[in-house]
């Protein structure tokens, strides 16, 4: 799940305004982009890489793809995702928001069948500071991302950026940033991201940036005992009223399930230190690392 500089990356929608802009940023940072997809411009080049009619054609020509990033509108997202999955892409970063629910279910079913890791939908992407990034996170901003040993998991790209900024200001760098996305049906859960960082030798401690809605933070709390690394968490939405959606489509609370109180209590019971504000994360990390 953690992106490395040697991984081959395909950009679906590379010739669009956003696809072209972010592809150039990824390349400048060190991401190994090997090709792009746009059926209408197949046979051309964009960002100095070949453009193919499909992900399947790209994989056949290039000999396999480690990761694909989707700059694809919601109406076309299902077909683009299944194209990449059936082409054997190992990991798919789905940036697209507002994909119809039935299409998301089709994507996840195809991914399970073919063994593809989905990150998203509605993710800002993943970053390995000093190596590579895939998506729309400002990895190139040294005030936000710096190589280090703190792994960060976030459902929110903007909130994750703030947390990473605070970490760098406090002298901490990141081993990896895993933006799992804000959709109600995510391909990668908090606990799966937690286990990826648990297995990562470069990660010394982990920050979980959660929010109200769903049960992913509670499920991750149950896995904390086996992690063996300090975990600090911030949960957004403490003051939100029950039953009201706040921001992400997945951030809706019904009764106590998915509530701030439930998430905080479960994480603390599991051994994580939960802070009240993002600005407290760095101090909490220092304390947790001192105890480790």
DSSP class of 116: P
Backbone angles phi, psi at 204, to 5 degrees: -100, -35
Lookup: tokens for 73: 């509108």
Which helix (H) or strand (E) is 60 found in, with range? helix 55-62
Q: How far apart are CA 88 and CA 114, in angstroms?
A: 7
Cis bond before residue 121 (omega within 30° of 0): yes
Q: CA angle, corner 135, sides to 202 and 278, nearest 5?
A: 60
Residue 194 gets the label, from left (phi > 0), alpha (psi -120 to 50) or beta, of alpha
How many C-alpha atoms does 242 have within 13 Å on its Cβ side? 8
Which of 7, 98, 108, 248 is an active site residue?
Answer: 248
Exposure on the CB side of residue 171, measured as CA atoms within 13 A:
3
Q: Are 156 and 183 in contact (CB under 8 A)?
A: no
- Supply the DSSP symbol for 275: E
Is 108 in the active site?
Answer: no
At how many degrees (to 10) do helices 216-223 and 260-270 cross? 10
C-alpha span between 194 and 188 (Å, rounded): 10
Residues taking part in catalysis: 248
């Amino acid at each position: 799940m953690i992106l490395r500089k040697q991984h081959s990356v395909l950009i679906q929608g590379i010739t669009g305004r956003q696809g072209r802009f972010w592809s150039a940023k990824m390349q400048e940072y060190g991401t190994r982009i090997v090709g792009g997809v746009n059926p209408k411009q197949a046979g051309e080049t964009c960002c100095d890489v070949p453009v193919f009619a499909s992900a399947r054609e790209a994989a056949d020509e290039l000999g396999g793809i480690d990761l694909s990033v989707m700059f694809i509108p919601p109406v076309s997202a299902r077909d683009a995702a299944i194209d990449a999955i059936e082409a054997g892409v190992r990991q798919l970063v789905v940036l697209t928001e507002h994909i119809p629910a039935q299409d998301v279910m089709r994507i996840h079913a195809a991914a399970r069948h073919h063994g593809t890791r989905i990150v998203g939908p509605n993710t800002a992407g993943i970053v390995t500071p000093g190596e590579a990034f895939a998506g729309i996170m400002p990895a190139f901003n040294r005030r936000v991302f710096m190589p280090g040993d703190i792994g960060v998991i976030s459902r929110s790209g903007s909130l994750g950026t703030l947390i990473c900024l605070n970490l760098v200001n406090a002298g901490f760098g990141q081993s990896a940033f895993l933006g799992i996305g804000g959709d109600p049906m995510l391909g990668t859960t908090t606990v799966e991201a937690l286990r990826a960082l648990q297995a990562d030798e470069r990660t010394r401690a982990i920050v979980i940036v959660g929010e109200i809605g769903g049960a992913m933070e509670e499920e991750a709390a149950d896995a904390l005992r086996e992690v063996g690394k300090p975990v600090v968490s911030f949960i957004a939405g403490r003051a939100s009223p029950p039953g009201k959606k706040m921001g992400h489509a997945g951030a809706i609370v019904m009764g106590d399930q998915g509530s701030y109180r439930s998430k905080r209590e479960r994480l603390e019971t599991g051994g994580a230190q939960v802070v009240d504000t993002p600005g407290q994360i760095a101090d909490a990390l220092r304390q947790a690392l001192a105890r480790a």
